[in-house]
Chain A
Amino acid sequence: SQTIHQWPATLVQPVGSPLSLECTVEGTSNPNLYWYRQAAGRGLQLLFYSVGIGQISSEVPQNLSASRPQDRQFILSSKKLLLSDSGFYLCAWSGGGTIYFGEGSWLTVV
């Protein structure tokens, strides 16, 4: 069966520090991969999606970036965090039908 792992689960970072959130999927190949952000009082916002290795589409202009170095690995990064980057970050995958989410990463920028 397929599983999705996302880490770290929680982190507190100072403004201006770098960020790296990692997501891996097991049990499937060539999945579509997604990063979403859920800020307080707002809906889920699609940040990036990828349909293959090295193929990244950005939905929202921001100081975040994403990379897909391997088929089942998706990384969300920032060189310098802003206060507004605080939120709940969710990685997800789909094979074209149902989408499956990881448990999420809580990021607090202080």
Chain B
Amino acid sequence: KQEVTQIPAALSVPEGENLVLNCSFTDSAIYNLQWFRQDPGKGLTSLLLIQSSQREQTSGRLNASLDKSSGRSTLYIAASQPGDSATYLCAVKDQAGTALIFGKGTTLSVSS
């Protein structure tokens, strides 16, 4: 059974710092991996989607990498801003391609 783990559970950084969020999964036979952002009490917003054949995706200050063989993904946030404060969730879709399995998230706090 696929399990997704995110480390750290919480992270506090000063504004302007570059940071890395980690995600690991137990079964490397994935279809894709997706990173989401969740603001308190809100739904999820998709940030980046990496197909199993890809190694990374970039959007603005965000860069997500995927190492399928080792079961790892990282989300890199450059020049963090207070508006980046949120919970970041990683999720994988198995090769059956039906549903996403989520990690518990990393709650990021960026102070000004």
Contact = CB atoms under 8 A, between A and B. Distances in A.
- Tell me if B's interface is mostly helix, strand, loop or mixed: strand
Q: What size tier do the contact residues of chain B reach?
A: 20 to 34
A90 B99 contact: no
Interface stretch (B12-20, B38-46, B59-67, B72-80): B38-46
A57 B89 CA distance: 24
Contacts of A102: 43
Q: What size tier do the contact residues of chain A reach?
A: 20 to 34
Contacts, number: 49
A87 to B, nearest CB: 12
- Tell me if A's interface is mostly helix, strand, loop or mixed: strand
Interface of A: 32, 34, 36, 42-44, 46, 49, 51, 57, 59, 88, 90, 92, 96-104, 106
30 contacts: A32-B98, A32-B99, A34-B99, A43-B4, A43-B89, A43-B102, A43-B103, A43-B104, A43-B105, A44-B102, A46-B99, A49-B98, A49-B99, A51-B98, A90-B44, A92-B44, A97-B32, A97-B49, A98-B34, A99-B34, A99-B46, A99-B91, A99-B100, A101-B44, A101-B45, A102-B43, A103-B43, A104-B41, A104-B42, A106-B41
